[in-house]
Amino acid sequence: MTWVTGAEGSAYGVRNLPYGVFRSGGGDPRVGVRIGEFVLDLGAAEAAGLVLAAGALGRSTLNAFLALGRPQWTAVRQRVTELLTDSTHRPAVEPLLVPLAEAELLLPFEVADYVDFYSSEHHAGNVGQIFRPGQPPLLPNWKHLPIGYHGRAGTVVVSGTPIVRPTGQRATPDGPVCGPSVRLDIEAEVGFVVGVPSALGEPVGVADFADHVFGVVLVNDWSARDIQAWEYQPLGPFLGKSFATSVSGWVTPLDALAGAFVPAPEQDPPVVEYLRDVPHVGLDLRLAVEWNGERVSEPPFATMYWTPAQQLAHLTVNGASLRTGDLYASGTVSGPRRDQVGSFLELTWGGAEPVTVGGAERTFLADGDTVTVTATAPGPDGTTIALGEVTGTIRPAR
């Protein structure tokens, strides 16, 4: 049990302890860990000798800490847990707790590279039916490899950053025009943050997932469907996706999710050798999507066809190296039901079947709309672990 006021029984209790970067009172950015409705200033804790992390906790991003590797990640987590549960430490630690309401969350890590996958069979099938009616919903390669593409690291932003409506070319009956997107959408996803790098030319195997990946963030990979539809053939997504990707301000360590791993869906046909993960497991993360404060969907991450370990193995099988701060996202998380989809493209079936939000019929995002993605996972002893939310509000095109 923790001595921190209000934290016992919280989804941000000592079994969670997500990491972020914050500032308060006009101070410099520093690393912190969330406990209940407080942030423990780990930079100050390290400076006081309460935690040892090779000076990595006094930095303005998590990258130096991420690079230390799993033994150090585990040691720091154990020490922080001790500080927050052993009341003899309270006199030294309590002054380092910053009320969450007084903390400004910043982008928690410097993003090195960003890769987005397409790992939900339900999502891929829905999109195939919407865009290619009368044809097989999955393309021939889909069940043989995790489909993905490289995104734009420089436009990954922290939760709460306003999202400016993108401008680009889109098709019309009279030919292409350039202007603000009129089919702006969301993609509710889960992202994985790489800590330990790999050497160029050396693939990372599925068994090495936990040696390289530090933790998890929620992702909203905003999508301009009209711009994307016009540009994506033959090379794939570009301006329809690269304008903004929002991530949560808290990175949940894999250690906190140890009780959330569950058997992943069976894969048929069998995958090639480098993708055979034993055990074949995914994560039981239960997402929720709110549109202007109204819950419209609850996507289940446990249904994802391709696992996080398989995604990591695939993105390095050609010898591509990992860097500290790499982010790879799962792709849109969708379940088998309409109320479990992770995009409004699916929720409204390409805009043909509007939904009611706030008393009005809606299809895609309007200026002023706010979308928030949250998630929970099962923790030990019947507890619940919350992942940091990711939220954004649409601003008019410039």
Using CA atoms, how far residue 45 sits from 33, 55, 91, 217, in Å, is 11, 11, 12, 24
- For residue 329, give the nearest of 116, 110, 107 by alpha carbon: 116
* Catalytic entry in 122, 123, 212, 314: 123
Q: Which helix (H) or strand (E) holds 115?
A: strand 114-117
**Rounded distance between C-alpha atoms, residue 19 and residue 251, angstroms:** 5
Nearest C-alpha neighbor of 343 from the set 117, 185, 221, 118: 185
Q: Is 174 annotated as a binding residue?
A: no
The verdict on whether residue 228 carries a ligand-binding annotation is yes
Burial of 359 (0-12, 13-18, 19+ CB in 10 A): exposed
* Sign (positive or negative) of CA dihedral 378, 380, 381, 386: negative
Q: Does 135 appear as a known binding residue?
A: no
Q: What is the 3-state secondary structure (H, E, C) of 323-363?
A: CCCCEEECCCCCCCCHHHCCCHHHHCCCCCCCEEECCEEEC
Distance CA 323, CA 328 (A): 11
Q: Is 19 annotated as a binding residue?
A: no
Residue 116, annotated as binding a ligand: yes
Q: Residue 123 catalytic? A: yes
Binding-site members for Mg(2+) are 221, 241, 245
Residues with a known catalytic role:
123
Binding-site members are 116, 118, 132, 187, 189, 221, 228, 232, 241, 245, 332
Binding-site members for Ca(2+) are 116, 187, 189, 221
Binding-site members for substrate are 118, 132, 228, 232, 332
